[in-house]
Structure 1
Amino acid sequence: MTPAATPARVDSRAKFTVRGWCFLTAAVLSLAAATWLGRKDVLALSLFLGMVPLMSALAMWLLKPRVLLKRSVDPPLVTLGDAAQVALQVRRRSAFGTRGRTPGSTTADRAAVDVHERVDPLLGRDQDFSVPVSGAPVGYTVRPRRRGIHELGPATVRVDDPFGVVTELLDVAERTSLHVAPDPEELTEHGASLARESGNDPARRAQPQPGPDNVTTREYRHGDPMRRVHWAASAKHGELMVRQEDPRSTRKAVVILDTVEQHWPGERVWAGVLPSTHEFEWAVTAAASVVEHLTRRETVVHALDDRGRPLPRGNSGAAELRDTAVGDTAATEVVHGLSQVALAPRPEPGTASDPLTVRLDREGLVHPVLLLTGTLSPDAARRYVQATAGSASCSVVMVVAAPLVRPESADVFESAGWSVVLASRWTDVDAAWLAVTGGGSLMAPPPPEPGAPQLSMDDVMGRTRSRTTA
């Protein structure tokens, strides 16, 4: 799929409608009849029929009809799979646009214009409406099928003269953005340790373990998943309450999402207007799932990208943030902020220190590390190994695109003591999360084509091992 191409500018010249051409044809025929019969009354009729469309076109050209279109999205940020309501309002800025009259309405309420609304295919189909120019809203529903930043618009407004013989198309170039956050998946409790147990792990200082005694509740906030609702507390307080673990815990972890474009060589797709791949979308969902899972279990997560920048929160970009720590109360903001994450070219090498290493050293982040990356080069793998040299334990989930071949960088991570998990975009996120503690290969095969034989995991792994050996 390619991003929505910039639509060609609409030809806004006034044109005759079918009714207008009928008027002109009738005028020509009446003029011929008047000449043939010598009837002045028929000549007057031909002049009237010809002047109506011509004068309407002249008036349309002189007065330049304009309308003001306003589009609003409620809510402006949704979770993948949820619906959003889009409302269109049109205000008239000229004397035209009086189609669509209804009995008993005022002059301001009777006028209407036809609006063609362009919609991102990942949100739904293009919409066509007859919108009253009185400002009364006309709405439709969109349900996104991929996270990212999606655009609604531009719109084309068709304005007619009062007689309906001349029409003009007005191009309303304004666009409205809808942010779509990934939908975190429920992860198994068994993987909460993030990595293999290490006796010298500074993140495992004495702290209370997750349990009913150190779980508190707070009021429900927009965006909180319904599975966190504490129904007993909600019944007691008379309003929705959600579970929130006691923040006294000192357990910490580091989650790094690799956004380097060259590390995700799969088929290019678009998350709205953001460049992405299917493998990167899997990694974004996994990052959202891990952050939410750990923060709900008394763990402070330092969520970073490959350059050591904090992952964006809500509608703010990473450049506006300084603190990388994410607790339970900020986890939802990070999940929402992942709607803005996109692939970016690898930065040009410079003489300055590696920004990821600087960030980890400056904040003393020696806690367990989970890296979500794609098919990167051995040199890029060594960069991550050097940057996290002081961490207690490290794990990496490598989302490999087809063909399912073990990359050489996996050996670099394993030789440095990392737990390596190889996954594909068809791998279950929870299965990859469980494998983080011990490593392994979970490269699930693609779904079979209709009528094709089912490809088993043994076949996939057998082919992968044979290619690796070769």
Structure 2
Amino acid sequence: MTTNARPVKARRLRPTARAWGLMAAGVVLIALAEIFGVAELRFFGLVLILLPLLTLLLRVLARPKLEIERAVYPTTVAAGDRIRVVAEVRNKSIYGLEASSYIDRVTGTDRQQVAGVLPAVASRLHRREGRRRRRIAYGLTRMRRGISQIGPLFLENIDGLGLTRRVIQVGDPVEIEVWPHVHNVDRLDIPALRTGSEAEIALGRAGDADDVVTREYRRSDALRRVHWRATARAGELRVRQEEHHAEVVALVVFDTAPTNRKGIDPAFELGVSVIASVLTRLHEIGYDTELLETHTEIDDSENANAGRESALNLRTSAGESLGRVMRHLMLVQPASSEDADDLEELHMRAASMGRGPMVLVTRTDRPISESLIDFAGYGDPAIAILCGPAIETDSSATRFVGAGWEVVRMNSSARDPWATPRRFGVAE
């Protein structure tokens, strides 16, 4: 089976070029037999014509019945991760299947398809279980954010004589959700996003150290979160639960303005990862969080108002799962036009809430409006994370610092953008 860019699709059983050649040769032999009166030539000509036709008839009747079962490891996938796909092909027919070349379609990665050779699959009457099923296994690297598809599987089945050919589709595509990659935001060196005692200083709004809500120690808890006074009183390890943060809503604003790049925009993809990571950290240290986007596009005109409100208000309480927001971030894309600008509505939304931490994630490959920079007045602290390629003079960072933002600059063109964040003018 060819593995070029042409799309693969199922094809009915049909003669191959070899079969047509044999039948043409048979016609020529019969014609020569009539001209020269040689009966043997007529016999051989009939054999050459009937052999492909009989093979085609037998293959129509002896069609294998195949089914496939897939497994993907790991089951939860983040952007950039590697997955392993294992597919088992079973034959439910009384007729066996010859060795066949295969193509398995894939999306969401650098590869468009995986090709190989599937060994012969015996009929369901074969006494050995291992001969009635065959396994295909392969790995996919650097999975892209979004919904990826694996399959269907296509088998190019040719008989032993090479006279007939068909392409069989086995199974349907399997969808896999690839969520944004969540990183450790400690690498950004932002005190307000740290855990443990540093978070108590930076984020505590009410009560003193003795008022902190604690719970029993779990194996996954970091030792720096141990509350030693509560441990001494209880006689067992206790850690900070920090539920008092839930009284303050942390605003996270994502600039989803249109991009100038065709295809995948590294700066935008980095921004999605940053948003997911920041939301996860704020959630871990006990904040209610709300995700706001600067541009929203609603397709359903009948429910435009409800859809717009839902897109503008992605609120998650400290006790809820972030699953709904992560699924939203899995699919979010830059707006198609500036017409979907919602900055005025976002200002009204931010002004109606208390002054809690605010994190703004934007890109430096486009003009940044003063209206976006003015969000600093709603945050305490206000943190701007700028994603884009490295440049010598960063005027965007200077403008944000001048407006009172704590600024982190991340190089989206670096091999590991999280390795070298740059800090600018921390507000006092």
TM-score category (smaller protein): 0.5 to 0.7
Query: For residues 376-387 of structure 1, what are the structure 2 equivalents within 5 Å?
Result: 380-387=368-375
SS in 2 for 1:249: helix
SS in 2 for 1:348: helix
Cα displacement string for residues 234-263 of structure 1 (whole angstroms, at most 9, x for unaligned residues): xxxxxxxxx99625231653222222223x
Match of 2:235 in 1: none
Match of 2:228 in 1: none
Match of 2:176 in 1: 178
Cα displacement string for residues 198-226 of structure 1 (whole angstroms, at most 9, x for unaligned residues): xxx9963125769x99354679xxxxxxx
Match of 2:418 in 1: 429
Query: Does 2:350 match 1:355?
Result: no
Query: Does 2:126 match 1:139?
Result: no
SS in 1 for 2:183: coil
The one-letter amino acid of 2:335's match is A
Aligned residues of 1:71 and 1:176 also touching (Cα < 8 A): no
Identical aligned pairs, as a percentage? Answer: 19
Distance 1:174 1:90, change over 3 A: same
Query: Does 2:184 match 1:193?
Result: no
Gaps of 5+ in 2: 125-131, 195-200, 224-237, 298-308
SS in 1 for 2:118: strand
Distance 1:217 1:186, change over 3 A: same
Q: Work out the CA distance in 1 between the residues paired with 2:31 and 2:253.
A: 81
Q: Work out the CA distance in 2 between the residues paired with 1:137 and 1:398.
A: 50
Q: Cα offset for 1:144?
A: 2.9
Aligned residues of 2:282 and 2:289 also touching (Cα < 8 A): yes
Match of 2:335 in 1: 344
TM-score (ref. length: structure 2): 0.67
Distance 1:159 1:428, change over 3 A: closer
Query: Does 2:355 match 1:366?
Result: yes
Distance 1:323 1:400, change over 3 A: closer
Q: Cα offset for 1:52?
A: 2.3
Query: Does 2:104 match 1:117?
Result: yes
Query: For residues 254-333 of structure 1, what are the structure 2 equivalents within 5 Å?
Result: 254-262=251-259, 265=260, 267-269=261-263, 276-307=264-295, 319=310, 323-325=314-316, 327=318, 330-331=321-322
Aligned residues of 1:215 and 1:245 also touching (Cα < 8 A): yes
Query: Does 2:385 match 1:397?
Result: yes
Q: Work out the CA distance in 2 between the residues paired with 1:155 and 1:20.
A: 26
Q: Cα offset for 1:374?
A: 0.4
Q: Work out the CA distance in 2 between the residues paired with 1:247 and 1:25.
A: 84
Q: Work out the CA distance in 2 between the residues paired with 1:85 and 1:214.
A: 43
Aligned residues of 1:203 and 1:253 also touching (Cα < 8 A): no
SS in 1 for 2:150: strand
Match of 2:39 in 1: 40
Match of 1:78 in 2: 77
Q: Cα offset for 1:370?
A: 1.3
The one-letter amino acid of 2:118's match is S
Q: Work out the CA distance in 2 between the residues paired with 1:91 and 1:344.
A: 47
Aligned residues of 1:256 and 1:305 also touching (Cα < 8 A): yes
Give the counterpart of 1:416 among 380, 403, 408: 403
Cα displacement string for residues 107-151 of structure 1 (whole angstroms, at most 9, x for unaligned residues): 255567543223345258622343748694633233331431333
How big is the alpha-carbon RMSD for the aligned residues of Structure 1 and Structure 2? 4.9
Aligned residues of 2:179 and 2:330 also touching (Cα < 8 A): yes
Q: Cα offset for 1:344?
A: 2.5
Q: Work out the CA distance in 2 between the residues paired with 1:320 and 1:73.
A: 33
Q: Cα offset for 1:21?
A: 5.0
Aligned residues: 376
Give the counterpart of 1:165 among 163, 166, 187: 163
Shifted more, 155-164 versus 385-394: the winner is: 155-164
Q: Work out the CA distance in 2 between the residues paired with 1:394 and 1:34.
A: 95
Aligned residues of 1:158 and 1:168 also touching (Cα < 8 A): yes
Q: Work out the CA distance in 2 between the residues paired with 1:373 and 1:214.
A: 36
Cα displacement string for residues 308-354 of structure 1 (whole angstroms, at most 9, x for unaligned residues): 89xxxxxxxx958965125376357755654333222245168x883
Q: Cα offset for 1:395?
A: 1.8
TM-score (ref. length: structure 1): 0.62
The one-letter amino acid of 1:422's match is R
Aligned residues of 1:208 and 1:249 also touching (Cα < 8 A): no
Match of 1:206 in 2: 206
The one-letter amino acid of 2:251's match is V
Aligned residues of 1:382 and 1:412 also touching (Cα < 8 A): no
Aligned residues of 1:260 and 1:306 also touching (Cα < 8 A): yes
Q: Cα offset for 1:421?
A: 3.1
